[in-house]
Amino acid sequence: MELPIGGMTCGACAARVSRGLSDVDGVETATVNLATERAKVSFDPAVVDPATLEAAVESLGYRIILQAVEGSMGEGRPVDGPSEVGSDGGGGDGRQLDGSSVRLVAAGLLTVPVALISMVHGLRFGGWEWVVGILSTPVVWGCGWPFHRVAIRNLAQRATSMDTLVSMGTAAAWVWSVVALVAGRGHVYFETAAVIVTLVLMGRWLEQRARQRSGEAIRSLAGLSVRDATLANGPTISIADVEVGMRLLVRPGEKVPVDGRILEGSSTVNESMLTGEPLPVAVGVGDTVTGATINANGALIIEAIRVGADTTLARIMRLVDEAQADTAPVQRLVDRISAIFVPVVLGVSVATLLAWLATGQPTADAFTAAVAVLIIACPCALGLATPTAVMVGTGRGAQLGVLIRGGEVLESARRVDHVVLDKTGTVTAGHMTMQKVVPAAGVDAGSALRIAASLEELSEHPVATAIVDAADRQLPVSDFTNLPGMGV
């Protein structure tokens, strides 16, 4: 099953959650993806239940959104139907992005004057240190409070993360500056603390924006589904109420609500969303039709054979969802490195401070060097680069009609040197365009196109659409009739 994890901020967090879940009795494997903020857990239901997993995660200082996983035992992320999958597009990323935007804007507005006054000598004035101190304080302790909160929480758990580096670096720079300002001697580093907070906030904002945009692949697929279905005897019901065996009416121009088998009628169905082929496929009694494809010109009575999470569209969405949550082989190596990265950086920082002091360097210079070590390591994308690349790659592929099964596939694709395609439809845009007009002798090509486009304007056929798109204007048409299988 897959569990949405809240509160992770870096690769070290993901590695710690993965170890914590793996240590629970009954859990066979546990992998955590930082970009999707989800953990994939394989366990024995007879030994452990979701509540136990939630307690294990909370004991580490993180949380599981348990409501989102109820009913998903053994199936991964729950998928109740096409209209419900991915509708949130990332479990609240939109709200997180809004909050990050406010903090980033506030930090930026305050940091710009702080940096200018501190770095441009011509802008300095009497008592400028007090002004930059006042302006930087809300940046460090207000806009940057999420970093300090996570660092304090990790300290209570005797753990470290990238937020620990940010918190220690900015707090140390601010405290040192306050002491130097009050004592009236020494250099102040208010601008350093403010700039670090602002830059890291910008990095987090870009990360959340990338996560939100990668979720558009699922949302665009969900947008293909329908909300209602019409029973053969007339009433309209919600798509969630459709059951296998129900007889449904699909009128011309409507989307097929679920996967079904034709009982009555004949028509052509546009399957470009599934196959990429622009030409509609002729169907009749006994043929199967796929949910979310478009019925072109004939009324159909179908029997529902797959509904909800079993439809073709829902399964495609589930594949994309699982691919985005997949952990690439290189990411497992990165997670192991992230687990020890922060303690190593802290050790190097302390060693730097002691080495400078031992060699007789001024205390201010030693402190500056030690803080610099923390600062340089702060915006580390070690744990986020790979999962974000997998999310963006699989999401963009889904938007273009290419289903990528996960990070391992993407990683192995670097060895591909030949690509074999079985048909042209897989590499087309899914719609037709007119290339050339060849008129009869004595007929103007522009006039011929205008007349043809006028006749085809009311037709839903893909060829008609291509002709209409190519013409600059149409003539008025009356007594239009579309004859199935014959034309207009």
Q: What CATH number is attached to the domain comprising 317? A: 2.70.150.10
In this predicted structure, the answer to whether residue 358 has a pLDDT above a threshold of 90 is: yes
How many CB atoms neighbour CB 185 within 10 A?
Answer: 9
Do 312 and 332 lie in a common domain? no
* pLDDT at res. 124: 86
Which residues does 67 contact at the CB level (< 8 Å), separation at least 6? none
Question: Which residue among 291, 322, 353 closes a domain?
Answer: 322
Residue numbers annotated as active site: 422
In this predicted structure, the answer to whether residue 413 has a pLDDT above a threshold of 90 is: no
Question: Which residue among 322, 352, 376 closes a domain?
Answer: 322
Looking at 140-144, 216-220, 260-264, which range is the least confident one? 216-220
Residue at 403 is within a domain: no
In this predicted structure, the answer to whether residue 51 has a pLDDT above a threshold of 50 is: yes
Do 257 and 381 lie in a common domain? no
**Tokens linked to 125:** 């004035």
Do 297 and 334 lie in a common domain? no
Q: What is the DSSP string of 246-297?
A: -EEEE-TTPBP-SEEEEEE--EEEE-HHHH---S-EEE-TT-EE-TT-EE-S
Looking at 222-236, 415-429, 443-457, which range is the least confident one? 415-429
Measuring CA to CA, which residue among 431, 111, 421 is closest to residue 279?
431
Do 253 and 336 lie in a common domain? no
Q: What residues form DSSP beta bridges with 255?
A: 294
SS3 for 286-355 is CCEECCCCEECCCCEEEEEEECHHHCHHHHHHHHHHHHHHCCCHHHHHHHHHHHHHHHHHHHHHHHHHHH
Question: What's the mean per-residue pLDDT of the chain?
Answer: 80
Residue at 369 is within a domain: yes
Do 461 and 447 lie in a common domain? yes
Q: What CATH number is attached to the domain comprising 21? A: 3.30.70.100
Q: How many distinct structural domains can be found in the chain?
A: 4
79 confidence band (pLDDT: 50, 70, 90): very low
Q: How far apart are the first and last CA of the chain?
A: 53
Looking at 92-101, 195-204, 444-453, which range is the least confident one? 92-101
Coil, strand, or helix at residue 487?
strand
Q: Which residue has the higher pLDDT, 220 or 87?
A: 220
Do 209 and 348 lie in a common domain? yes
- Is 334 in contact with 33 (CB distance < 8 Å)? no
Do 104 and 202 lie in a common domain? yes
Q: Which residue has the higher pLDDT, 184 or 388?
A: 184
* pLDDT at res. 429: 67
Do 208 and 107 lie in a common domain? yes
List C-alpha distances in Å: 349 to 150, 152, 157, 338, 356.
20, 19, 22, 17, 11
Residue at 422 is within a domain: no
Do 181 and 114 lie in a common domain? yes
Do 206 and 188 lie in a common domain? yes
Q: What is the DSSP string of 361-419?
A: --HHHHHHHHHHHHHHHTT--TTTHHHHHHHHHHHHHHHTT-----HHHHHHGGG----
The boundaries of the domain holding residue 243 are 229-322
Range 372-385 average pLDDT: 67
Do 102 and 169 lie in a common domain? yes
Do 316 and 172 lie in a common domain? no
In this prediction the pTM is 0.61
Burial of 102 (0-12, 13-18, 19+ CB in 10 A): exposed
Range 404-433 average pLDDT: 75
Quote the percentage of the chain above a pLDDT of 90.
17
Residue at 162 is within a domain: yes
Residue at 269 is within a domain: yes
